[in-house]
Structure 1
Amino acid sequence: MDFETVSTLQYRNRSLTKQVADFKSGEKYIQMAADYKELLRFHHREMKRLEYELSRAHSETVTVRRYWGGVMDDLEKEYREQIRRLEAEIGRLKKQNLELARQRDAAKDKLRERTGQYYAAASELEEERGKNKKLRAQVNRDFENSSLPSSLQRAGRKKIPNSREKTGRRPGGQPGHKGHPRRKHTPDITCEIPAPAEYAESPDYYETGKVIRKQKVCIRLGVEVIEYTAREYRSRKSGARVHAPFPEGFVNEVNYDGTVKALAFLLSNECCVSHGKIRRLLSELTGGRIVISDGMINGLCGEFSAKTGHEKKEIVRKLLSSPVMNADFTNASVNGKGMQVLVLASPSENAALYIGREKKGHAGVIGTPLADYVGTVVHDHDKTFYSYGTDHQECTQHDIRYLTGSIQNEPELTWNGQMLSLFREMLHYRNGLPEGAQPDPQAVSGFEAAYDRIL
C-alpha cells in the first residue's frame, strides 16, 4: 500500500474508535436525546404555526366562500331576471313573427292574384297586338310586298309601275357605272358636212384624220297594195266558172299579210291594247286606208296558235331539258269570266310558254310540261308546285316582297332590312356578270357567310 491510503485508513480508524468510545460511555446517547428533544420542540412549534395558518386560511376560505356565495346569488338572480326578460322578448318576437308570416302569406296570395291578372292582361295584350299586327299586315298587303297579284289591287291604294325605291340620286347614268350608248346602225344615206373656211383655209388648223359621225334613225310607214288578177272562164257544157289559181294567202277579195296581222297581234297580246284602239291606230297610221274588224283581231290568236305548232314543240323540249324552270299562275279574264294562265319559263334556254287553264292547282298543271318535268322548279311558294319536279326554290322577287312587307309591318326588327340589302346586293352582282360568265366562288362564299350571319 502507498502512504496516502494508509493515512486515510488510520484517520478513519481513529474516528470510528472515538465514536465507539462515546457510545460506551453513554455521552453519545445523551447528546442524541438532547438533539431529538430540540428537534421535536422545533417540529412542535412548526406544527402550531402551520395549524394557526391553516386556521386562518380556513377562516379566510369560509369568508371568501360566503362572499362568493353572495356574489353567485346576485349573479344567479340577475341571470334569472335576464332569462325572464329574454323569454318575454322571445315570446313577443314569436308573436310578431307569426303576424309577419300571416301578412307575408296574405301578400303572397295578393301578389299571386295580381301576377295572374298581370299575365292574363299581358297575354291578352300580346294576343291583341298580334291580331292588330296581323290585320295591319293584311291591310298593307299589295303586289309590292306579298304574293298578291297586281290584278287584285284594291281601289284607292298606291300603285306604282315597279318595286323600285327612291334613292334621292339624279336620274340617268351614275358616276362609276359603265355607259351604255345607243347602238350605231349601217347608214342608208351619208351626208358629209364641208369644213368651214376658217378651219380648212387657216394655217392655224390642220386635219387630225378623225371623222365625227352622228346618226338619226327614222321609221317610215307606208301602205303597199299588191293585186293579182286572173281572167275568168265559163264552161259551155256545165256553165261552171273557173280561173287561174291565186298564190297562197289570196283567199278573200282583200287580204292582209303578216305585217298587218303581226302588228295587230303584238299590240293585242304583248302590249294589251284594246281592239278599238288597235283599229283606230292602224287607221290613223295609214290615213284611213286600213280599217280592220274586231272579228279579225279576235281570230289572230287561233291563227297564231295553229301556225306555231313546231315552235311550241321546240319550246316544250327546251323547258323539259332545262335544269331550272320558273312556274307561276296569273289571273286572266275571258269573256268576263275569271281564268288562269300557267306561265312556264326557262331563262337559260330563252324559252317561255303561256298556257290558259280554267283553274289553278293540280287541275291547272295536269297536261302541261310541268307535270312531266324533272328538275328544279322556281315558284311563289304555291303548295301545288311542290308535287312536281325534283327540287324547289322560292322566287327571289317574292322573298324581297316578304321582306318589304316585314319592314313595313314590323319596324322593331332589324334583320329584315339587312337581309333585303343582302338580296339586292346579290342580285346586282349576278345581273352585272357578263353573259355566260360564272360567279366567283370567293364572292359566293362571302354572300353565304353574310346570309348565315344575319340568320
Structure 2
Amino acid sequence: MRISFELVTSLQYDLRAAQQQLASFKSGQKYVTMKKDHETDRLCLEKQIKSLQEELRRLRLEQLSARQQWFESTDDMQAEYEKKIRAFQAENARLYERSFKAEAQRDDAYDKITQMRRENYQLATELEEEKGKNQKLIAQINKDFQNSSLPSSAQTIRKKKIPNNREASGRKPGAQPGHPGHSRKKQTPNQTVLLQPSQEILDDPDFKKTRKTVTKQLVNVQVCLNVIEYKADVYRDIKTEELYHAEFPDGVVDDVNYGSSVRAFLFLLNNDCCVSIDKCRDFLKNLTDGKLDISKGMISKLSKEFSEKSEALRKSAVSEMFLSPVIHTDCTNARVNGQSAYVFICAAPDGPALYYAREAKGHAGVAGTPVEDYQGILIHDHEKTFYKYGSAHQECLAHVLRYLKGSIENEPERTWNKDMHSLLQEMVHYVNGVETGEERDSVKIHEYETRYDQVLKTASSEYEDIPCSDYYRDGFNLAARMNVYRDAHLLFLHDSRVPTTNNLAERLLRFIKRKQNQAMSFRSIKSLDFLCNSMSVLFLMRQEDGNLYDKVSAVFG
C-alpha cells in the first residue's frame, strides 16, 4: 500500500514538470532562450577555430624549416655514412682475405690434429694391448699355490715362502727357552749293560756310590730272514699209480712263496711311501744281503691283491659315508697310458675317505661314487658338476681367498677385493672362535651378510666404471661367481657342521699326486683303480688304533 502511494506521488511530480516545460514551449520563450545560447556558442567556437588555424599555419612553417634542416643534415650524414661504408667494405675485403687464409690454415691444422688423434688412438690402443699382455704375463709369473687354484706340488723351483704367510721371527728352529722339552721315547731293552767306573774311582776312598743311575739307550733295527720250509712225503698207490702227499698250508702253492710280511712291506713301500718298484726290489735285496730278489711282476700285482682282499672294508665305508651330514669331494688329474684320467675323492669329516679312478670328469666321473646318491651337504672347489648333487653346498673359502689375493696383486687399484678378503678372514675367525654347542649371534651373521652384499655392489660399480682387462678377467669372474653362488659361500655361517675349507680333500689327494709324480703314468685304468682302492683302505686303517703294517699283513694273510 505504501509502495503504491510513493509511485503515485513520483508520477505526479513528473507530470507537473512536463506541464511546465510544455507551457514554456507554447509561449515561445524557450525558443528565444535557446537561440541566444546557440549564437553565443557559435561565436565562441569560430574564435577557437581561427586561433587553431593560426597555430596550424605556424606549425606548418616550423615543419618546413625543420624538414629543410633535416634534409641538409641527412645529406651530410649520408655522405659520411657512404664514406664509412667504403672504408668498412675495404676492411671487410681485407678481413675476408685474411679469414680465407686462416680457414685454410685451420683446415690444415684440423687435418694434422685428426691424423695425430688417429696416431694417438692407435698408440693408446697398442699401449693398452701391451699393458694387458704385460698384466697377463705378470699374473702368470706370480701365480702360485697361494693366490690361485694351483696345487703346491706344481710350484716351480724358487725360494720357499713361509707357510700361511707368517713373518720370520729370527729365532732358531726347534725348542724355545721356557717351553717344556719333548725327549725321545725310551724302548724296552733286550739287553742291559752295566758300565763300570775306572779303577781310579774305585780305589779312591773319597768317591762313594749313590742310589742314582744314569740310563742311556742305543736303539738299532735288525732285519731277520725267516724261512719256513715245508716237506711232505709222497706216497704211490701200487694199483692206480696215483701219487699223494699231505696238504700244504694256505698260501703255500709255489716252490717259493712270499708271506704276508714281505708282501705288506713291499706294498707299503711302493704305494704308501711312493717308492719305485726297482728301488723296492733293491732295498729289500740289500736288507737281506742279496737273498731276496723279488720280481717286478709280483710287486706290481700287490695293489690288485690288496684291493680284492679288502673289498668288504670299502663297502662298509660307503655305508658309513652316507650317514655323514657333510662330505668333502674333489678330483685331480692323472695319466693312464699317456692319456688324461682323473681321481675323485669323497671324505667325511672324522670318517672314511674313498678314492675312485675315472677316465672322464663331469657326471661320468661322479657316477658310481657316493656323491651320486648323497643327500647331504657337499664341500667342493666350485666344480659346477657337484651342484647337481646333494642338498646344499659350501665353496672352499681357502680357494676364494687365494683368488682374491691374486686379484689384489693384479688389480691393485680396486678396493672390493681387499674388502672381501678381510671380510672372509673375519667371518672365518668368528666361526672358529665359537665354542662347540654355543649359539651363533644372528645379528652378527646378518651384519656379515649385509657387508658381503655391499662389497659385491662395490665390485659391480668398480667394474662398470673401469671395465676389466681382456687379459685378466679372474677378478671380474670371481665377483660374478660370488654373487651368483652367494648361499654356497655363506652356508658355514648358519650351519656349525659345515667347515670353511675343502682342505681335507686337498690333503688326501696329495697321496695320489705324489704317487703320480713317482709313477708318471699308469699302464691302465685298472691299475689306477687298484691304487685308489688301496689308498682308501689304508686311510681307514690309519683312523683305527693299531700298527698299520700289522693290519696290512693281516689283509695279505
User: Which TM-score bucket, shorter chain as reference?
Assistant: 0.5 to 0.7
- After TM superposition, give the deviation of residue 135 of structure 1 in Å: 4.6
Structure-2 residue corresponding to 1:98: none
Q: Following superposition of structure 1 onto structure 2, how do residues 139-218 of structure 1 map, counting pairs within 5 Å?
A: 139-149=141-151, 158=158, 165=165, 167-168=167-168, 169=170, 170-173=172-175, 181-189=183-191, 214-218=216-220
Aligned pair partner of 1:236 in 238, 243, 247: 238
- After TM superposition, give the deviation of residue 239 of structure 1 in Å: 2.7
Structure-2 residue corresponding to 1:283: 285
Structure-1 residue corresponding to 2:392: 391
Structure-2 residue corresponding to 1:74: none
- After TM superposition, give the deviation of residue 318 of structure 1 in Å: 2.4
Structure-2 residue corresponding to 1:270: 272
Q: Following superposition of structure 1 onto structure 2, how do residues 17-416 of structure 1 map, counting pairs within 5 Å?
A: 129=131, 132-149=134-151, 158=158, 165=165, 167-168=167-168, 169=170, 170-173=172-175, 181-189=183-191, 214-349=216-351, 351-411=352-412, 416=418
Instruction: Give the letter for the 1:377 counterpart.
Output: L
In 2, Cα distance between equivalents of 1:167 and 1:143: 18
Contact 2:343 2:357 in 1 (8 A): yes
SS in 1 for 2:255: coil
TM-score, with length taken from structure 1: 0.59
> Residues 337-356 of structure 1, C-alpha deviation per residue, up to 9 Å, x if partnerless?
3321111222311x211111
* Number of equivalent positions: 342
Instruction: Give the letter for the 1:283 counterpart.
Output: K
The 3 A distance-change label for structure 1 pair 206 and 216 is closer
SS in 1 for 2:301: helix
SS in 2 for 1:331: strand
In 1, Cα distance between equivalents of 2:426 and 2:322: 30
Contact 1:151 1:331 in 2 (8 A): no
In 1, Cα distance between equivalents of 2:323 and 2:146: 32
Instruction: Give the letter for the 1:287 counterpart.
Output: D
- After TM superposition, give the deviation of residue 442 of structure 1 in Å: 8.0
> Residues 98-133 of structure 1, C-alpha deviation per residue, up to 9 Å, x if partnerless?
xxxxxxxx9xxx9xx9xx999999898777655643
The 3 A distance-change label for structure 1 pair 354 and 132 is same
SS in 2 for 1:136: helix
Structure-1 residue corresponding to 2:551: none
- After TM superposition, give the deviation of residue 402 of structure 1 in Å: 2.4
In 2, Cα distance between equivalents of 1:422 and 1:191: 61
SS in 1 for 2:281: helix
- Gaps of at least 5 residues in structure 1 are 1-105
- After TM superposition, give the deviation of residue 425 of structure 1 in Å: 11
Contact 2:329 2:380 in 1 (8 A): yes
In 2, Cα distance between equivalents of 1:188 and 1:424: 56
Contact 2:362 2:385 in 1 (8 A): yes
> Residues 121-149 of structure 1, C-alpha deviation per residue, up to 9 Å, x if partnerless?
98987776556434532444344432235
SS in 2 for 1:266: helix
Single out whichever of 302-311 and 263-272 deviates more from structure 2.
Answer: 263-272
In 1, Cα distance between equivalents of 2:292 and 2:151: 38
- Gaps of at least 5 residues in structure 2 are 1-105, 456-557
Question: Which structure dedicates a bigger proportion of its chain to helix?
Answer: 2
Contact 2:427 2:448 in 1 (8 A): no
Same amino acid, percent of matched pairs: 44
Instruction: Give the letter for the 1:258 counterpart.
Output: S
Instruction: Give the letter for the 1:146 counterpart.
Output: S
In 1, Cα distance between equivalents of 2:431 and 2:196: 48
In 1, Cα distance between equivalents of 2:430 and 2:292: 46
In 1, Cα distance between equivalents of 2:151 and 2:376: 26
Instruction: Give the letter for the 1:249 counterpart.
Output: G
SS in 1 for 2:244: strand
In 2, Cα distance between equivalents of 1:429 and 1:178: 31
The Cα RMSD (Å) is 5.1
> Residues 250-296 of structure 1, C-alpha deviation per residue, up to 9 Å, x if partnerless?
11111111221112111222222111111111111111111111111
Single out whichever of 405-414 and 218-227 deviates more from structure 2.
Answer: 405-414
> Residues 196-232 of structure 1, C-alpha deviation per residue, up to 9 Å, x if partnerless?
969x9869x997x887665554322221111111111
In 2, Cα distance between equivalents of 1:372 and 1:135: 43
Structure-1 residue corresponding to 2:500: none
The 3 A distance-change label for structure 1 pair 299 and 406 is same
- After TM superposition, give the deviation of residue 305 of structure 1 in Å: 0.8
Contact 1:319 1:346 in 2 (8 A): yes
Contact 2:405 2:421 in 1 (8 A): no
Contact 1:378 1:395 in 2 (8 A): yes
Instruction: Give the letter for the 1:295 counterpart.
Output: G
Instruction: Give the letter for the 2:372 counterpart.
Output: A
Structure-2 residue corresponding to 1:28: none
SS in 2 for 1:338: strand
In 1, Cα distance between equivalents of 2:353 and 2:425: 25
Instruction: Give the letter for the 2:436 counterpart.
Output: Q
Single out whichever of 228-237 and 277-286 deviates more from structure 2.
Answer: 228-237
The 3 A distance-change label for structure 1 pair 263 and 129 is same
- Which one scores higher on RCO, CA 8 angstroms, separation ≥ 6? 2
SS in 2 for 1:392: strand
- After TM superposition, give the deviation of residue 237 of structure 1 in Å: 3.0
Structure-2 residue corresponding to 1:438: 436
The 3 A distance-change label for structure 1 pair 216 and 389 is farther
The 3 A distance-change label for structure 1 pair 451 and 206 is farther
In 1, Cα distance between equivalents of 2:239 and 2:192: 65
Contact 2:147 2:405 in 1 (8 A): yes
Contact 1:268 1:275 in 2 (8 A): yes
Instruction: Give the letter for the 1:405 counterpart.
Output: G
Contact 1:326 1:379 in 2 (8 A): yes
Single out whichever of 212-221 and 237-246 deviates more from structure 2.
Answer: 212-221
In 2, Cα distance between equivalents of 1:451 and 1:286: 65
Contact 1:149 1:330 in 2 (8 A): no
The 3 A distance-change label for structure 1 pair 316 and 181 is farther
In 1, Cα distance between equivalents of 2:445 and 2:273: 38
In 1, Cα distance between equivalents of 2:439 and 2:270: 45
